[in-house]
Structures are given as structure tokens and as C-alpha cells.
Amino acid sequence: MSSLMSGENHKLKQLSSNNSSSSATSSSSSSTTKIQSSDSSSISNNNNNKLETNLKREAEIDSKDCVKQKKLLKLSSEDNSSTIGNIGVKCLAASLKKQATNTEQQQQNSIHNSNGSVENGSFSDSTTMNRQANNNQDEHQIDESLYSRQLYVLGHDAMKRMAKSSVLIAGIGGLGVEIAKNIILGGVKEVTLHDNKLADYYDLSSQYYLSESNIGKNRAEQSLIHLSELNPHVKVNMHQGSLIDESFLKNFAVIVLTDSSLEEQLSVGEIAREKGISLIVAQSRGLFGQIFCDFGNNFTIYDTNGENPISVLISGITKEKAGVVACVEDTRHGFEDGDVVRFSEVKGMTEINGKEFKIKVTGPCQFSISDTTGFSDYLNGGVVTQVKQPKIINFKPLKESILAPDYLDSFSDRPQQEHLFFQALDRFQNQNNRLPRSWNQEDADTFYELLVGLVNERQVEPSSINENLAKIFAKQSRGNLAPVNSFIGGAAAQEVMKACTGKFTPIYQWFYYDAFECLPTEADKLPKESDAQPIKCRYDGQNAVFGQQFQQKLCDLRYFLVGAGAIGCEHLKHFAMIGAGTSERGKIVVTDMDIIEKSNLNRQFLFRPKDVGGFKSKIAAIATKAMNPQINVIAHENRVGVETEKYYDDDFFEALDGVANALDNLEARTYMDRKCVYYRIPLLESGTLGTKGNVQIVIPYLTESYSSSQDPPEKSIPICTLKNFPNAIEHTLQWARDEFEGLFKQAPEQAYLYLTDPKFIERTSKLNGNQPIEIGESVKKVLAERPTSFLDCVKWARLYFEQQFNHQIQQLLFNFPPDYTTTTGAPFWSGPKKCPHPINFDPSNSLHLDFVMSAANLRAYLYNIPQCPKREEILKLVTSLPASEIPKFKPKQNVKIAVNDSELSMMDSNQYDAGDRFKSILAELPTLDELKSVKINPIDFEKDDDNNYHMDFIVATSNLRAENYEIAPADRHKSKLIAGRIIPAIATTTALISGLVFIELYKLVQGFKTLDPFMNSFVNLALPFFGFSTPTSCQTLKYYDNSFTIWDRFELNQDMTLQEFIDYFRNEHRLDITMISQGNVLLYSFFLNKEKREERMPLKMTEVLKRVSKKRIEPYVKSLVFEICCNDDNGEDVEVPYVRYVLNNEPMDISK
């Protein structure tokens, strides 16, 4: 069969994280990446932690300033932008070139286990800091509509702690403004900007809140208004006095230094240590970056990785000195030695419920705990849940750590070298009062001499220093690159949040990054000093690294940006800063059909509250133009797909230099991937999931495509589990969402079509299986049982409650009583099957009334009946219903309930004449004339509107179902995450990932011809982990002696008949065509009957396509893609490329 991009592979991976207490390994077929974390030992609860100190200091400051008390931040909850099944992150772990890890600290007792415990994001009262934070929870109400996506990354407790933290950022250049932007969006209490430097042209290549009109003015002052607009809940100040002032510095929980000398870092670091303030140093020099963290002694990490605690069902616990726990049906538990777990819902051995145990893994499906001989015998059931344990880290102060550094990346010698590079550069600046001149050999030699002196002082082996690398570091150190600043700034901002909240593992203590591979390896291709001189233009900072000739290539770029959401906004920022699309030739086209919502403002930083309701692409383009007036950016509001190919046709794609995806769904991603392969243009693909993110680069003729590799299929919930045998809150939430869709959307939509579409009956009667009957019944239910008043809606909701949460459960127990046994004599209600109990309606129970209120109001909306938001009125209505109108349960003798999905499919296969039955159902309805005044409003689920009753229905329905089965309920926040299929998101990851994308764009513009310089990336800021790998090369296939890849194809530039087409491949390529298709249209096959074959053979290929598809070929289509199946001379099926069949149409003018 011909090789063409399938587009069916699921590319968005749900990324696993590493919460190992010792070490874990992530491996692929070609390489292994180690993620290390530190060993633990215990200390007493009397240890003061850094967060407690910070909070005490903030409380003292606030108690003296009542004005500040009135300005306490209100933060909000976070939601996910789409399901993990629809948007996630792709990780290519093969051939990792660069590796990063949670470093194992070298000194003993640097990390300890705390006696406090953490579970599901809530902390035990044993920690003073948590008691203190919880005292003010009601004061600091979180603005959940703004922070809806971020809340699912950090959680409410961490957000509230962050809302009490004041942060100082010193140095508001490109890196400083990036850090400030990210933490202001994140929702700290207060940010103070400090900068005594004046803006110059070097700043403009990265500092997006400065322009030519700001040259010579204070950078912080000019940026203040822009940063203040990012988040109304965060107070942004400016300070221009002395930085090294103890009375000033003591007011902050975290101090961030950028653009600072080592002397200044040491002075501030000493004060920070003395006052219990966290210190972060972040610097970037061209393609190189540095982060240092010092959070003091006894810093508490409450959640090392941010992952949900593992929870598994168990099937047995032995009674012995080390009781062995077995998981149900050989389920892999995923625990590690030393994990702490808590038991619940255990029958028989009830003494174990609520207790915590440290475990020892004895196998993938079992583990041992402590002595269980004194407990009762285990009967059945039980859930075991991981209990996260806080850790305490001791940081070394800067003055010590700089001499005895601990690196995040300890697998190569590059960090050790770069640690010395930055110190030698500081010495150069002190001696010369400037940085080395760009690509100046004399200054590079001077720098290297200083470096050698430093190496001798530190007694470092001289041979460990790469002289060429060192001198290139110096030559490009004046550079100021927006992508590098986004990477370092995103990572540093996440460290600020860790310091404020104790959420996630901090960098310990030095992290170095470089994109050295962006430069050519050949010395004669490196920039010349004359080409890198400052010319007082906004790209001077970029020219200092790459030279002016390279800059012209950037200006000439033509790129298509698909998506203007979180990543899209960051991409537009980078396009503006690097100067892409700013020449007469260049342009950036961005398309996005979405409109701006309030929840977008937390991470889509180009938008402001006044923009809510506007098109993302249009507003983003205006904001981009404000950053760089030279950029030619064109905004579209189109969805990419077959329906918009009249806009995005051959002429459009053939004029592009590449595509950057910023999408949130698989369908659009794979569509754009196919387009890029077809038009042979590069694709920059990326995605984020909370603190995780990835970048994949697709390069013509070199790499595989986005769709080339296939993820494992996502684990789905069996239908029978959802219908009758749920055992987890995820099951009840999915069931509730299905109920919502069936009651308020799918059935009403069918009824709406029945009323409005004349061909509905004809079309539905032709459907397969029992579908016509199911649709007919749903239409009948919607139209024949119409309410006429809100009281009718309340009655329906009450009866629905009785049916779902009482009668159906009683019927299930009638079929399978609690003591029911299987044919083998085993208890039926055991393992994953939890025996349910019916619920009796109680109007005084708030959950029961929640259900009636939400269900009744949704039904009222469906039928255009005025809703009732008054809870007391609904209570009166539901209690006024006579008991005689609530039917008593009567068991049905002949009802069969499927125990598994195979039984269910057998039951569904018992069909009868579905078409006739469908028509008879509709005949029972009133006539269409009688129904012409009926209006139906199908309801699309919207999770983010708290006043539409959608989530109220989901939460109440799920938790009632959970109560039926004794499953722990979920609050609204968790319910929205799961039922709304939300992907957690945070600005720090988005900025960092976009920076990595544009670092790859630099390489594309360099024109590198091999894979070696390019990097696919995977990061997890929570761990923290940074992984880089060479992209996978495209697979080579062969027919006869002809090799080809997905980038190759047959080209036919003349119009042929079908017979000529077949003869051409037989004569020219020795291939016998057995099938020809275009899209989903089969044009020819070996099994085609003789009459049709003879009819089609003399026709032109275009005419065959028109007749078979019964569609015309649009005038904007310049070529067709034919996929062919072929046999070789031996009659064997062979894989061959697809065919590009060029037409002779005149192209349309769609330049607008």
C-alpha cells in the first residue's frame, strides 16, 4: 500500500512522573535517562521550615499596614484545557543527549522525612506552617474563574500560600521581565521591581515591554504599567534605591537577582540567609543560562512531584509478621519501597482501616506491611492509597555553594565548565567595566586567561575545560536572546513558586543550560566580528550571537502559526522579538477560531480583561504588533481542516518556510502534520500538561513525522463498570457526564432534528443495528413527555432520582443479592465489584436537593420554561409532591443485567427489524403539525459557568452514585477536572516550552543538514527534569532497489486516463496496481466488476473521481493525492509512496 500519513495515531501522551524516593529509570530502545532524588532520614517536628518563616514575616508586615491587609490577593481555581486524551504531551525519550535529575545531595542529613503527612493535597495539623496558612483560608478566596487551569497544577493550599508572598525581582531586562510576567500571572501577593539600569538597544531583542522610545530610560519604570496589567490581584511596585539594604530586603519572601554581579549576589545572599529569605539567581548570556537556588535550611517540600496519590483496589491481606497485600486481578500497584499507604473500605480486617504503613514492594502486584497477626481475618474489599510524605532540604548558602557546587545535571562535564565560565565572565566585567565584544578574538583570549586563572585557584583539572567552548561563550556573551530568556525565565519563575509554596522539588542548587548547537560547527561559518557589531537597532542583542546576515534570514521568514492560545501567545512574542516576518518578504499568519475567556488570562498573557469575548487571533496580533511594529502579522479566525482548504491551499503552503502548531486537539495536529509532510515544510510541534511539556521538530527528509509513532491506546472504562459496577469516583463522574449528555444534549438534538429536518426519518431508518430504535425511543421520550410548568420539571427530577439511585440499585440487588456467588462458588460482590445500596430520597439532605434543583432547572431550560434559582422554592415544590405519585419498587423478573462487556455485546446483537420498529415508535408521537410550536434547546456542556447548573448536576449525580457504592465523593473542584476533561496548565511551562521551540527555529534558519544539532525536548518542572534527545530519523522503505521515506512520492504532471495511469506504473516502475483511492473514495480495485472497470478505464482520472465521489473538484485544488496498492513482479504486495497528481487548474487569488 502507498505510504501516506495516516493521521490516526494518538500522539498526545499522558506523561508519567517520577516520585521515586531513591532512583527511577526512564528508558527507550536506545538510551536510558536517570532521574535521581535524594535519600531520606527523619527529623523532629520542631524543625523550623523556610515557608513558616516567610509567612510569619508577611504576617508581621501586614499587621503593621492595614492598607496592605485590604489588598490581600484573591486567587482562583484551575481547570484543564482539554482531556488528556485530546491534548497532552509527546515525549521522545530515545537517545537522550542531555539529562537532568533531582540531584542526590552529597552531604548527609540534607534531606529528611518529616513527621507531617500529606494526602490529596491536604496537610496534617502537625506542621505549624500549615496551621498558620489554614487560619486565613477564608480571607484569601481564590478567583477560580481566573486561575481555573493553574489550580489543577498547584492546588488550593499552595495557591493560598503564594497569595501571601511578596517577591523582589532585581534587573528588569529580558530575563527579569519574563520571570516577573510569569509569577504575576501565577498570583503572588506582591511583586517589587528593582532596576537602576537604563534601557539600551541590546534590551529590545528580548524585553518585550520596551521599545525604541524607551531607550535611555529606567527599564523597571517603563515596564511597570505593562506588568501591572497582567493580573488585577497582584500589586506591582518599583524600587530604585540601593538594592543592598537590609531594611528593604527583609520585606520579601523571595528575592530574584538577574543582571547582577557576583559581588552583589553574595551580599544579597548573606542578608537573605540571615533573614530567612529565599534567594534565586538567574542569568542568561547569549545561548547560555544559569539558575541558582538557596531556600535556606530545613526547607519543607510538601509535594515532591505534584502527581495524584496512587490508589489501588486490594483482594487480600495475609496475617503474618510482614502481612502481604495483594492487588485485585493482578493489578500493578506502582508503589516503591518506603512509600507510605493508608487503607480504607477493608471488610473483616477492619482494624487496618484508616491506618498508615510503610511498605516493602515484594512484586508488581503485591507488597508487604508490618505485623498483621493481631488483626481480624480479611474478608474482602479494600482500597490502599499512597500518602505523600513531606521532605526537608538543607541548602548551602551561595558563598559556600559557589565553591562546592551541586548541579542538577550531573551526567556531563558541561555544567562544571559553565559554572566557571560565568565566574570568569564576572571577573572580565569587573576588570573592563563591560562584557567582551561580540566575536572579538582579543577579548575572548583575555577571558580565557581569566578562566585559566580561576581554574588554577579552584584546583580544577585544566584538561576538563574546552577552550573552544569557553572562547565562544565569551564571544557571544553580549547576546540577549528571547527564546533563552523564556526558557531560563520559565524555570526560574517556577522556582519562585516552589519557594513560596513548598509545592514541587526545587533545583538543588545550580542549573546550567546552553544551546551551543545553534551555532555552526565549522569555524569559517561562525559570525564575523564585523557582522555582529551593534548598529543601534532592536536586534543588536540577537546580532551579537548570530550576526546581521542571519538576522536578515529571520526577517524574511514566512510562518503559519496555528493557534493563539497559551503557547500561541508565547510564540507570537518570540516571532516579534526575533524579528521574524518583518521584511517585505516575511510575514506571520496566525489563525484561531476561539474567543477569549476569563480563564485564559492566567496564562495567555497577550490578553487583558477588556479583551474577553474577542477573537484570540485578532487581539493577539494587535498585541504582537505593539511589541514590534515591524512585524507583518495577519490574523485569521479559521479552523484548519478540509473545510478551509480554499484558504489554505497549495499556493498558501508552498509560500511558507514552516508551520508552528499551538493546538489543543489531536485532529488538528495530525491534519497539520499531514500538510507539512505533503508540502515538505518543517513543523514545530509542542504541548504542555501542567508542569510537563514537550517539543518535537519535524524536518523534511530527516525526521519522522508527528504521526509516525503511535502512543499506547488510552485505558477506557468498561461499559458494564459504568452502568452497574463502579468502584472509583472516576467511574461515577463519567457516568454522570454520560447522563448529562444523554438527557440534555443527545436526545434533545435528535428531537430537534426530527422537528426541523425533513430527511431525518429516512436517514435514521438506514442506520445499522438497533440505532434507529434507540434514537426513536429518545425522540419519543423528549417530545411525548414534555413538561408544561416548572413543577413538572421538579416532579421529573424527583422521579429520576428514585429511578436512578433507588429502583435501579434494588433491581441490581434483586438479580445479584449481597450473598450471591459465582458458578465457582466465589462471592460475586468482591474484588472490583462493590455491593451497592439504594438511597431513599430525603429533602433535608443537601445533596439530594442539589440534584433536584440542578436537574429541574436544566429540564426547564431544555423546554423553554422559566428557571427557578431559589432553593427554598424548589424545596417547597418537591415536598409538596404526593407520596402516591412516587412509584414503589417492583422487581422485574425477566431483566437480564450484563456482568461484563462481552455479555453486553451479545445482548445488543439480538436485533430485530430496527427500521420498522423505529417508524412505529414515531407513529406514536403527535404529528409534526401538532408539534410545530414546540421549541427544544439542546444543552452543550459548559464546565466554567458556575450559574448554568451543569457542574451542579454532574457533582450531585456523581456523588449520589458514589454514595450508592460507598465510594468517597469528590468536591466540585476535582469533579470539574475529571468530568470537564481539563488539562492543568501554568504560565511557567508554557513560556519555557515556547522558548525551546524557537531555539529549534534558530537551527532551522541556520540550514543545518543533519539531525545532530536538533533536539526534541521533554521537561517536568515539578521534579525538576530536563530531557533532550536527537529527533528520530524517518524510516526508510524499499520496493525493488528503490528506497523511499514518508517525504517521497510519485509525481505525475500530465492528465491521464485510468488505463494510462495503470499502464504507466506497470511500464515505468514494474508495479501492478491493485487498488487506487483518493481520500475515502475507492476509484479502482482488482475486484471491481467488469462493467464498471470497462466504464472507468478510458476516463481521465479527474473524471473518474468526479463520477465516483459525485463531487466536483474545487477550482483552488492544484493537485490530488492518490494512494495506490501494488504488487511486484512476483505478485507480492509492496509498500510504495503515494502519488501527487498535478492538475491544470488556474490558481485562485486568495492572498487576502
Hunting for cell 520542631 — which residue is that?
46
Other CB atoms within 10 Å distance of the CB of residue 772: 24
Taking the C-alpha atoms of residue 797 and residue 857, their distance in angstroms, rounded to an integer, is: 9
Among 400, 397, 399, 403, residue whose Cα is nearest residue 454: 403
Residue 930, pLDDT > 90, answer no
Q: Which of 453-457, 685-689, 746-750, 779-783 has the lowest mean pLDDT?
A: 779-783
β-partners of residue 660 are: 561, 684
**Burial of 698: CB neighbours in 10 Å, binned 0-12, 13-18, 19+:** buried
Taking the C-alpha atoms of residue 970 and residue 734, their distance in angstroms, rounded to an integer, is: 13
pLDDT in tens, 1056-1112: 999 999 999 999 999 999 999 999 999 999 999 999 999 999 999 999 999 999 999
Confidence of residue 411 (pLDDT cuts 50, 70, 90): low
β-partners of residue 340 are: 358, 387
Hunting for cell 433535608 — which residue is that?
844
User: Which DSSP letter does residue 345 get?
Assistant: S
Q: Give the DSSP H or E segment for 493.
A: helix 482-501
Length of the chain: 1152
List the beta strands (DSSP E) in 286-379.
Answer: 288-294, 299-301, 311-317, 324-327, 340-344, 356-358, 360-363, 366-368
The answer to whether 949 and 858 are in contact (CB under 8 A) is: yes
Task: Provide DSSP, 640-674.
Answer: -SGGGTTTS-HHHHHT-SEEEE--S-HHHHHHHHH
Paired sense of beta strands 1119-1127 and 1139-1142, if any: antiparallel
Q: Is 720 a catalytic residue?
A: yes
Q: Give the DSSP H or E segment for 366.
A: strand 366-368
Domains delineated in the chain: 311-387 (2.40.30.180), 727-966 (1.10.10.2660), 1037-1142 (3.10.290.60)
pTM here? 0.86
Among 520, 578, 530, residue whose Cα is nearest residue 552: 578
Query: In a 3-state reduction of DSSP, which class is residue 924?
Result: coil
Taking the C-alpha atoms of residue 865 and residue 632, their distance in angstroms, rounded to an integer, is: 51
Taking the C-alpha atoms of residue 198 and residue 206, their distance in angstroms, rounded to an integer, is: 15
Quote the pLDDT of residue 901: 77
pLDDT in tens, 694-711: 999 999 999 999 999 876
Query: In a 3-state reduction of DSSP, which class is residue 1071?
Result: coil
- Phi, then psi, of 166 in degrees rounded to 5: -105, 135
Among 204, 211, 220, 208, residue whose Cα is nearest residue 541: 204
Residue 132, pLDDT > 60, answer no
List the beta strands (DSSP E) in 234-306.
Answer: 235-239, 254-257, 278-285, 288-294, 299-301
User: Which DSSP letter does residue 85 get?
Assistant: T
Taking the C-alpha atoms of residue 675 and residue 663, their distance in angstroms, rounded to an integer, is: 15
pLDDT above 90 covers a percentage of the chain that reads 77
Which residues lie closer than 8 Å to 911 by C-beta, 6 or more apart? 769, 770
Among 904, 370, 987, residue whose Cα is nearest residue 688: 987
Paired sense of beta strands 356-358 and 340-344, if any: antiparallel
pLDDT in tens, 1003-1049: 999 999 999 999 999 999 999 999 999 999 999 999 999 999 999 99
Taking the C-alpha atoms of residue 450 and residue 952, their distance in angstroms, rounded to an integer, is: 67
Taking the C-alpha atoms of residue 417 and residue 422, their distance in angstroms, rounded to an integer, is: 9
Among 290, 282, 230, 226, residue whose Cα is nearest residue 254: 282
The CA-CA-CA angle for residues 43, 46, 47, to 5°, reads 65
Quote the pLDDT of residue 78: 32
Q: Average pLDDT, whole number, for the chain?
A: 87
pLDDT in tens, 525-582: 999 999 999 999 999 999 999 999 999 999 999 999 999 999 999 999 999 999 999 9
- Phi, then psi, of 983 in degrees rounded to 5: -100, 120
Among 1115, 1116, 1133, 1113, residue whose Cα is nearest residue 1124: 1133
Quote the pLDDT of residue 910: 53
**Catalytic residue (choose from 365, 537, 720, 868):** 720
Query: In a 3-state reduction of DSSP, which class is residue 193?
Result: strand
Among 208, 230, 308, residue whose Cα is nearest residue 987: 230
Hunting for cell 496534617 — which residue is that?
124
Distances (CA, A) of 639 to 565, 624, 636, 642: 13, 21, 9, 9
The answer to whether 579 and 538 are in contact (CB under 8 A) is: yes
